[in-house]
Structure 1
Amino acid sequence: MKMKYKIGDIIEGKVTGIQAYGVFISLDKNTQGLIHISECRHGYVTDLDGFIQIDDEVEAKIIDIDEYTGKISLSLRAMEKLPIPPYPAKRKRRKRRYVPQIGFDTLKQKIPAWIEEAKEDEKVRKSIGE
């Protein structure tokens, strides 16, 4: 039996049944396909009854054909375009906190005095003969 459908084809069909795991689509008089619940739309689908009704006409894409059983897997999700911007997202820069410049000022003020003290101690040691 020669299949007239191939992967990648976009077909129109009528919803013939709804189960908890997916939606059955009649492609022609003798052929049915299944849209698994994960292929219905992007994101999480909890209830197919609110999403689609029996006898609705749908346009779907063939994503797989089982070569042994002839079962056809369809997707509505493959027909939707994702809202992806054409450019990469801009990285957010963190604001720098204002930190006052303190901390080393007291050392800056005291170091010359300490150096003078060390010089005087050195002179005293030399005079004593240590």
Structure 2
Amino acid sequence: MAIEVGNVLEGRVTGVKPFGAFVALPEGKSGMVHISEVSNEYVQDINTVLHDGDAVKVQVINIAPDGKIALSIKRLLPPAPRQPRSDRGPRPGGPRQNGPREGGHFGNSRGGGRPPREGGRGPARDAAPRVWQPKAPAKSDNLSFEDMMSRFKSQSEEKMADLDHETNNRRGGGYAPRSRRGR
């Protein structure tokens, strides 16, 4: 049987290093199980989990062009049970805070910073993005070239202002580039 990605094979540990374990496979080939692919739990020292001569069941997860075979033991284990969110303890460092801490201007309760937005945290993510729509063209009852040019310029500036506004909102605010300031 040829060794292919996804195959599950029986092997024997032939060497254990701090970064992983080497496993002898059928057909005289060998592969390596990286320390991150040994267990569903964090493994500080691989020597506590695997030893030379251990029989292991592994899954082939990659075969490099140079012939190196990457293996996993963890992918054949049942997934570790997860605690429901409500039962988990507090996050390290306390509750999540947005913005700077200690002395920052928009995380404090001293009245500084921006006022909170009305209606929650803003538009829903799945709401359709705003797209610039052209206004209905005004009648051009024999306008002069200068009048048409003036209208074109004002429409162009409206488009650019809308574009700048949308771009700055996506970037989280900020300043307009120098070429756009003061118009």
- Shorter-chain TM-score: what band? 0.5 to 0.7
Code of the aligned partner of 2:23: I
Query: Sequence identity, in percent?
Result: 31
Root-mean-square deviation over aligned CA pairs? 2.2
SS in 2 for 1:78: helix
The superposition leaves residues 74-106 of structure 1 with CA deviations (integer Å, 9 ceiling, x where unpaired) of 001101111447xxx5869xxxxxxxxxxxxxx
Q: How does 1:74-89 map to 2 (within 5 A)?
A: 74-84=71-81, 89=84
- 2:4 aligns with 6
For structure 1, the 5+ residue unaligned runs are 93-130
SS in 1 for 2:28: coil
Code of the aligned partner of 1:69: D
Q: How does 1:1-130 map to 2 (within 5 A)?
A: 4-28=2-26, 30-66=28-64, 68-84=65-81, 89=84
Between Structure 1 and Structure 2, the one with more strand by share is: 1
Query: How far has the Cα of 1:22 moved from its partner?
Result: 0.2
SS in 2 for 1:18: strand
SS in 1 for 2:58: strand
- Using the size of structure 1 for normalisation, the TM-score is 0.60
SS in 2 for 1:49: helix
Aligned residues: 87
SS in 2 for 1:55: coil
SS in 2 for 1:4: coil
Query: How far has the Cα of 1:49 moved from its partner?
Result: 1.1
Return the structure number with greater relative CO, CA threshold 8 A, min gap 6.
1
Determine which structure has more spread, i.e. the larger CA radius of gyration. Answer: 1
Code of the aligned partner of 2:34: H
The superposition leaves residues 46-83 of structure 1 with CA deviations (integer Å, 9 ceiling, x where unpaired) of 111111110111001111111x2111100011011114
**2:40–2:80 contact (8 Å) kept in structure 1:** no
- 1:112 aligns with none
SS in 2 for 1:7: coil
